[in-house]
Structure 1
């Protein structure tokens, strides 16, 4: 099988020739720039560390690493920022150097704090001394919503632009304002599909719950869900208008070329979801169903939702909405044991992730323990297809290079057996 055939087979709940593997196809299944730089030194590779996601400080895996690890999926955003002059060197928190996209120009102050500023002078992102990613520093509506629907509609675009996740966006969306972007996106995706046998993925966030937290701040928005539902409902309607316009362009541009479209919306924490199922159903369910339906009706792409945390209670709703894939399958959260979710939902939805305990084993265990844990989890998650291997979320800076190689080598060894 080619990589594309392997992924498509698994996503149709059939057993492929080997376990499909992802690293770096999404900003929730990648590798930190520091971990990448250390891995390159360990492998005696000269490949540079290109930080394509500046908020999370994630590296874009190069072709040599993709081949070495047996990766089967590529993000079409890698077709942008593809010339050396589009990157500039900087010093990471660790001793290693990496490269930022040329448009990103944070400022380092005398206390060792990196900041990024909106064009209006507002500090929107901060990376404290010693930190390895940027924190949101500005919440546009922290003091309250605009006082009318019209006011909210008029203020929303400007407010969203002052949030780091929108203003400091990763490729290809950092080029979305370029002339002819959609034609360029299609042309470069065609080239990637012709030059590679990998499955292709496009990131198209369409976040709902998370945008409320970005605008209002987490504590405020969680209260809004229960005591200010009218404003939440208006916000969701306005967000959907924007998401649907983008989704229409994505489907028109690359919907016949790309295999998977990734949505994002963190709905859970370790101990359970952020809200009751009744609140989720009332405020979000119909909107997400509309997003999934549009993708399925207007493209050949599978729908993929990234949601961290304990979302066991929401899985039937997500299946009903038409979600094909769940990531990262955070198995160390309440009710998210791999045996449980595979047995109950494995026939109806695919799992992308869940391949390793990232808190105790991947970062602290030996390569032998990593290998054993990969085998254990693959025994649970791979039968009958419906599974793509990845770590639970991104590989963090504290993961030793030997464990990264053991993680992916174990998958290939398991497949050979």
Structure 2
């Protein structure tokens, strides 16, 4: 039986530092991590300082020779660029380097394609891929017919892409329209669910932050802390974009108060615009939240840059003016004091479970601020109200008098108004 040859992808990373960008070095480190996420062996890095990118080739034309030489010496079969390339840049680079060229956007789209599990996530990624491909059809056709350098292993959308590119432009446009329509339907379902939550007056707390900051770990630890079932735990792993699906979990506290905790896709610098648009309805969970937990990996030297990127992406999807707690996670690896609370900031270690009590306390203070303390006298023939309040409010004490049941309690403002006629001492 003939053995199947496994093609190992060996890539060279190329980046242009425009006008001495202080975050350039980190974006190249991140590019390496993105390549590794697709099992690409990075054999080297080439960078160039420029005032602006070269319109025809992204890098200066003299740099092409250097890349070509290094490519031949290192036996690479792939060149990965640190920015989104234009269709003509891809065409010119592939012609002059005589190999396949991938840009940062395609890299991220590929990772998202691998990580997508639910039908909605798969549709969102496919929509972003098709929108990316459409203006690049000519260049990609040339690339697909190229016999040199295979990307047989990691780059699935090159394989899947080949079949997609056999479609003509109109078919791709039809598919985009179809996906948009289907995602619109999903968006309407989400809206209905959100309206229902609002009607039930359940506060929503949304986890946001850079990819791999520890959002899923925090969600799982909070579920465990509040004695939630194991099967409600969400997937967590130390890798980029481990979670694409929006997870929604009900966190039940000891005093009958509860809130919904939602976990959204992580952000990364230069997150492709098509992807942000495609995932818009998923990310809008954050827009409708009562409180954001902005999770930061404080052990990363570039954490301030990560905060900036996250805030910028949130602004892009109109998530503004939502009260926010900054959760500085992985404090155990950062040589800082923890658990520590200061204003709207908290330093914790989710993995160690340190600082979660303080975090829950901060969440409580912010989302249950509209709770009212009072006493109510409920007639004995209105037992259903006592049952409702026992289930949905914090009952501090219960006494029985001739006229009925006296409850000392803390409850939502909406419930207070609903049963205001029974309030004592008004």
TM-score by length of 2: 0.31
Pair member with larger Rg: 2
Higher relative contact order (CA 8 A, sep 6+): 1
TM-score by length of 1: 0.31
